Structure 1
């Protein structure tokens, strides 16, 4: 059974990999999984930092983050 992309968002990494393996017969090692998870986390951190910097540029007097730039 094929899932829609929106349905994949709620799955954990292992479930997504299991689904991929069942569909296209891929084989990932645990190291590959950890590397992909770290890459995704780095992307999330970059996006969050970008949003904070953008908000601080738009409202320079706002110190709600507690950070000084």
Structure 2
């Protein structure tokens, strides 16, 4: 059995050039590329339901959800 090959790292521009030609979307993180999982309808509906409930719960308060930047 051969040892696993180490994945090559890409710089930002090389990734963007390569990604433009790909049929599926990928994620670039610290020089490495990872395949993105497609969004399923059920997952999108669940996320929307959670966000809607959170918004309704916080309505009228000084609180608001925050998102990482």
- The answer to whether the superposition gives a TM-score over 0.5 is no
Q: TM-score range by the shorter chain?
A: 0.3 to 0.5
> Structure 1 or 2: larger helix share?
1
Larger relative contact order, structure 1 or 2 (CA cutoff 8 Å, min sep 6):
2
Instruction: Give the TM-score taking structure 1 as reference length.
Output: 0.36
Give the TM-score normalised by structure 2.
0.36
